[in-house]
Amino acid sequence: MQVHRVVHLDDLHDSVPLRVVLDGQAICLTKIDGEPHAISDVCPHNGASLSEGVIRDGCVICPSHLWRFSFHDGEKQGSHDVRVQVYGTRLTAEQWVEVEVPERAPERSLREVLLAHARGEVLG
């Protein structure tokens, strides 16, 4: 887990998305009711950048096909099966926003993926 200091809270505007890339992961960051929130910036439907969408009622609306994702649990509205990753956020005493970015599993080769599949492993 890496913690990144990203922006001062005063520079993060309420319900306005900010795209940041941390450790190669695109993240959609915003402030809701004075608190920072962060989710993946990549829409699981077709890969659109969620930070180009509009935020309403604690959700970002994807600009491509209008799916809505909650900043609180990452869940697509109306579907419990589809969600985006939620990143932990925190404020320093000086009101800097920090985002917790988990380390990604190393990429597997095609051979490793096929062998894991043959062993019946669930691939993520």
Binding mask 7-46 for ligand FES (x = CB under 6 A): ------------------------------------x-xx
Question: Minimum distance from CB of 84 to ligand FES (Å)?
Answer: 10
Strands 2-8, 96-101: pairing kind: antiparallel
C-alpha span between 15 and 56 (Å, rounded):
7
C-alpha span between 123 and 104 (Å, rounded):
14
Binding mask 76-105 for ligand FES (x = CB under 6 A): ------------------------------
Query: Nearest CA to 27 among 85, 105, 109?
Result: 85
CB-wise, 79 or 95, nearer to ligand FES?
A: 79
* Residue 8 CA from chain centroid, whole number: 19
| Residues that contact ligand FES, how many (by CB under 6 A) | 8
Query: Nearest CA to 62 among 71, 72, 52, 70?
Result: 52
Binding mask 44-63 for ligand FES (x = CB under 6 A): -xx-x-------------x-
Q: Which residues bind ligand FES (CB under 6 A)?
A: 43, 45-46, 48, 62, 64-65, 67
